[in-house]
Every structure is written in structure tokens, then in C-alpha cells.
Structure 1
Amino acid sequence: MMILKYGRSVAAFGMMVLALCASPVFASNDAIKELLKVLRDNGTISEQAYSVLKNSVDADAERTHAEMEKTTDQKLAKIVQADGKKQWAEKIKLKGDLRLRRQYEKVDDADNADDPSRTRYRYRLRLGAVGEVNDDVKVGLGFASGSDDPTSTNETLDDTFSTKDVRLDYAYAQWQPVDYAKVVAGKFKRKAYLWAPTDLIWDGDINPEGLSVHLHTDNAAGTSYANAGIWILDEESGSKDDPFMKYIQLGHKFKIDNIYANVAGALYRFDDVEGEPLLDNIRDTNTVNADGNYQYDYDSLGLSAELGMQDVFMSGKVFAVFGDYIKNSDSEEDKGYALGFKFGDKKVSNRHQWQFKYVYADLEQDAFLDNFPDSDRFGGETAIKGSEFIFNYGLHKNVVFGIDYYDTERDAPDAAPFASNDDDQQKVLQTDVVFKF
């Protein structure tokens, strides 16, 4: 009977102890041990029962601790994993746009009554990413539709639903050790390293290849800056004299109340161009010698300026005048300029925002290499002059409707190499819808 009572006593207290351990309101295993000790001391349980129950409590505590450590480790691992994914996502920034276009072109020939014209439907797709390698270094990568022409990322809808090309648009590494200095190398976006308010000599799609540096300093008069670089034009496998371009640009930006300005001067030097074979993606409008090579060098002086007023008449709109000038030191047809103005919102990205812009451009035959000017202005050729009208309107957030109209004519239609060309005047009307993401 004593054995039976003892067994029942141990079982009863064991169930009580297990229940207390499982209870969410139980605070500590030490409290159970104290309770068992009191029960032993007043004779409620024997010394043997006390030892059995105490060992059970200790074992349960070890299991509970081990389980808690396991659960905690699992939760921490999930938190670290989620945080790592979040940090990776925060370090990568994606950006892109899709442009749908209807383009009408009309060519007038003074000696031909036919006046050929055409209508094309086109699109442009761009997708890019910038990733943070560390606090000082970023890497950029971008793809775009189009061909190998550096001045255009358009694709024409043609060839019976044929698949279209997507090409590497840029791939660069940028190092910025301090706020006022950064260096980029690879194939990169131009505008941060060479400023120009118009596309007189630099089409907006051009992403140069090589190395560039940007420096700036803030002072009492505004912000002074310097851009410089070496851009590779080609690599000749059979020659050690590869053509490339070096440049330096010095500029200053200032703002007084709602008046702002940006003024810059640039020097361009081209090595191994004069007397050498023509480069790729030319428009065949620069002067050539008897051997069909470049007649001139294209070392040039460039000037750029923009003067604007924000919140004009308290309307929230911006008005600005701007211009570019280029002068080649080595030819007769050696100058070019573009003058224009804009009025409206500073940037069109939301519903009902709008901007109007007008530009008049005059680019002589050898003012600059014909590889780089705006490809929509008479096909990117030199020896042209004419007007451009641009209007953009925000249909919705990141959805923009645009109209771009060019009316351009030859500046020297009877001079070589233009004498055999039939087109003396060109009109281009582009109607766009752009989706930004």
C-alpha cells in the first residue's frame, strides 16, 4: 500500500509540475523547486519523491531552453535573410521608359517636283539599373532598342513582325570618394560629365566611351565646376594611331532669388582624325581630301549658356533662354550655333504639366564631326539650318504626350558633297507618347 501511495503521490505531483511548466503564466523553474522543497520539508512528499520531481523539472528546463534557443536562432536567421534581401533591393535602382512614335517626313527638292514623303511608326525602349558596390562606387548597366547608330535608339515597325534588336546602351563604374568629385569609366551617360543645353553637336542618345571626371565647388557666387575626359572614337587593329577625343569644360552656375544661370566653355581636341579614314556612323557631310579621308582636324571651342527665371509672374512656371556655339579652328565652314527658349513646367512628369520649347540651329559643314549632332535634324548632317518646335504635356503621372517638329534646310546645297543630293529641305513631325517607369 505504501508503494502504491508513493507512486500515486509522485504521479500526482509530476502531473502538477508538468502542468505548471506548460502554463504560459508560469514565470520560473526555480519557483517549482522551492515549492517541492516546502512540500518535502513539511512531510507531504518524501525525499525520494522530491529527488525524482526535481530531476524532472531540471530536465524540462534544459529541453525548454534548447527549444527556445532553436526557435530564436530560426527567427534571427529569417530576420537577417529578410534584411539582406531588403538591403540588396535598396542598393539596386531600376529605371526605364517606352516611347511610341508616329513620324512623318517630307523632303523638298528645288530641282524635283516629286517631293517624296514617308510615315513611320516607331518605338524606343530603355531599361537601366544602377547598383551600389559600396559607399563610394556605383555600377550602371542599361539596354536600349535600336541599331548600332549611337545617335538613335528607335526601332521601326516593319519586316512582317520581325523580332527587334536590344543592345547594350551603357555599362560603367563610377567612383565618388568625396561630394565634390567623381570619376566614371566605361560607356556612360554624357550629361553629367559634359553639359550642353541643346543637341546642336551632341545628340541626346549618345553615350560616350572612355573616362571622364567631374569636379565642383560651392562659393559665394554659386557653384563652379570642371569636366574633363578622354573619349575613344575607334580602335584600329592595323594601326597604333587610334582616334580619340580629349576635352575640358569649365563652368559656373548661380542663382539669385528666382533667377538662375549656367555658363560654360569647352575645348575639344581630336587626335588622329585629320588625314585618316572616315569614322563609323558618319553622315558623309564633312569635307574629305583626294584620298577620301578627313580633310580637317576638328579641334574646337564650344560655349554654352542658359539664363532662366523660376515662378514667372507667380505662375509656378519657368522661362529660360539658352544657346550653344561651336568654332572649329581648322576649316572655313567652321561655325555652328543654336539659340532657343522654353516656357512651362521645369519638368513634365505629372498630369497637366506642360512645356513649350523652340530652337533655331545653324551648323556649318566642318564645324564639328557629323557623327554626333541630333539625328532628327536633317538626319544628323552638318551644313544645315532650321527651326525646331517642341511641346510636351502630362497625360498622367509618368505618361507624357509630345509633339516635335523640325523644319530644316541645306546651308550650302550646291557645295560638295551635296551637289548630287536631291533633298534641299526636310520637314519632320514626330508625335509621341512616353511611359516612364
Structure 2
Amino acid sequence: MVAKRYRLSILTYNNRGALQYYPDAILSVGEGGRIDEMRPVRGGVASRLKKGVKDLRGFLAIPGLIDTHCHLPQYPAVAADGLELLPWLEKHIFPVEASFKGEKVRGLARHFFEDMAAHGTTTACVFTTIWKQSTEICFEEALKAGVRVIMGKVMMDRASYDKKFGVYNPGRSRTDVSLSESEELCRKWHGRGEGRLLYAFTPRFALSCSEKLLRECATLAEKHGTYVQTHLSENRSEVREIKRLFPKAKNYTDVYRRAGMLGPKTILAHSIWLNENEHRLIASSGSVVAHCPTSNAFLGSGIMDLAHMRQAGIPVTLGSDVAAGPSLCLFEVMRQSIYLQRSAAAHNLFKTNPQPTPAKAFEMATLGGAKALGLGDKIGSLENGKDADFVVMDPSVYDTGGQPPVDAETAVSRLVYRASRHAVKASFVAGKIVGGRL
């Protein structure tokens, strides 16, 4: 890749946790796809800039956004309204996922990754479906698209939508087939694409998994050094059913603890209906929570006690949760997170008074997400030595009436509250354009 230099505005956190805004700066991408220079332009330096700089003054560069929870096969089912979680899954989602096979998968996967990049998301944690071949195609398309993914085949050995399993797997158990297929995919794809493609063992949630499957997922993830992703306490009906199916567990989180699934590479989506003991379990294990506010509002699932999560020391990230989340747009997710927390505060829903800010929402979608996933040394901020994953935003998103922001707080507030897909001009991964154009 040819080295490139851009002159534009920059908004980013640094690894020390400081939000930085440079109205006029140079972002230089080296031949290895890493940032080899990021510095403000000051005074007389502007007149001495070398040739070869692409002048994008007025445009804003931000780190590539990180979506820690979404479902690729569900994308055709977005905005299927009117039900809460469990009946919604049965009516709308399981039929869509069951049909996610054959050659149509390639076109849908290609569209998903293109749309993801078009929204400014450069890294995503993705659930596919129970079909191995469909998951293969999803990895192939992610490789072609150039995006980063942590992705895995959905695992369900109880209440599966595969109604013909016994016909083409005589004498084999759903558990063993799910485990063996997942491990084969992991061996083939984990670390491919110069490390852009990573594998996550993906037991859907405890309702659809046996205790053996959960235990073996944890064992395989530890064996291969990969991730685990699942759902936790999204809906109160779901939590009640967990108590029935796992009578020996103290609570929903304890189901995963008993299976050995909790740990720094485990991503727990939603995590709304938790008690104090569960917060301690998650915090002490270092597990990551994917907060999905647009999805939670859409299905009426509830509101996460985000402030208490942070007080407990739990790494909280942001997920679109398509298709319960109606859009891949993480700017919408950031806004919804703030709105729900403020509504919760107004109604005194939690003991801890949340104080959500645009800056914190932006951090969860960038550097906070990267650090939680163990990728903070590579992505999440625009700093020398990191991979050049960044998004170029149109000036209209933060320059109102010819008045550019005067500081970082103003810049991030305008970005979070005003940005949408239409403001994303181009998305880059490791210095290569993966969406839009300049």
C-alpha cells in the first residue's frame, strides 16, 4: 500500500483517556497500513507542508467505530415490530436464520459488510447462523470487504430451528456436531486477513444450549485463544425461563460461571436484569458487556443500569444488535444510550444517578470498545503506531452555520447528536478504503 497523508480535523481519544480535538492536523498512513504521524498543524508549519498531502480541510477524521453485538442473517428482518424478545425470535428471527443458506448468503453478507462500513463501523462482533457453510461464506465476504470482525457460527443444541438434523446426521448429537463444526471454522479462519478476522465461539444464549455445550465452548475458546459471545439477561421472561431450566444455578450469570465461560474474552450482550451478585461476577471475571440501547428500546426489554456497571468496573461497549436494533448506525446507538439513561434518571429508576455524556458514548464506541476486546494497542484511537482504522466525516456534521467547534467537548457533542450514515464520507481499515470515497 502506498503511504498517504491527509490534512483535516481530528477527534480522538488517546490511550491515556484524554479526548483530543485538532481543528487542523496531519494524519499520515505508512505502507504497512499503520499511522506513522498524527500531529496538529500550527503557525508557519502549514506553508512548509510537503507535497503529497491530500487536502481535506473542513472534514473530520474519527477512529473507526466498533460494534460489539450484531446478527448478520437477521438484517432482512429489521423493524419487525410488535413483540417482546421470545415471541419475536420465534415469529420473525428463527425463520429468517433458518433460511439463511445457499448462494443467497453471499449477496446478503456482502451487503451487510458494505452497509456496516458505510455507517462508519470498521470492527464488529457478529453472530451468523447455525449453518456451517453459511458461516464460511460470511468469513469469505468479510475477508473481501476488508473489514474487521469477531465472528462465529451460532450454537444451539436445545430448541434449535434445524428441524431435519437427524436426517442428515444419523447417530450424531446436536451438541457434538455444533462443537466440531465450530472448531473447524475456528481453525480455518481465526487470525486470517492479517489478523482482521477473529473467531468467537457463539452459544446463542443459555435457553438454547445444554450445560455440556456451554462447558465445551469455554474449553475450546481457551484452547484456541479465541472469544466467546452470547446473550445475558435481556428480558424478564427469558430470566424466568433460565431459573426453570438451570435450577442449580444461583442466577443467569451463574449459569455461565459454572460452565467456565466468563473471562476477559467473553462478550455478554444486554445484561439488563442483573443483581448485585451478578455485577460482581462479571466484574471479577473481566467479562465485557455489550450495551444495546436501540434494541432494548425497540423490544421493550428494559434499561441497563449503566452507571452501576461502570462503578463496578465492568467494561461496557456499544452494540447495534441488528435486527432488534433497527439500524447499524452506531451514532444512533450512542444517542439512544444517552437518552435512555437520562430518562432513567428522571424517573429515579436506579440508585446510582447516571450522568451520560456524548464524550463517554463516543469512548464506548471507539477506544473503550477496542480496549475491552483486547485490541486497544491496535485500534480505537488515532495515534502513532496504531492501525489506520478511521472514518472521514462530512463538515456539515459538526460545523454549524460556518461555526466550527472551539473545543473537544463541542466537537464530540455535535458529532454524537448530529451524525448519521449520510455524514460518513469514507471508512478505512489499516489505511485501505472499505466504504465510501473521497
TM range (shorter): under 0.3
Q: What TM-score does the superposition give when structure 2 sets the normalisation length?
A: 0.26
Larger radius of gyration: 1
Higher strand share: 1
Higher helix share: 2
Greater RCO (CA < 8 Å, at least 6 residues apart): 2
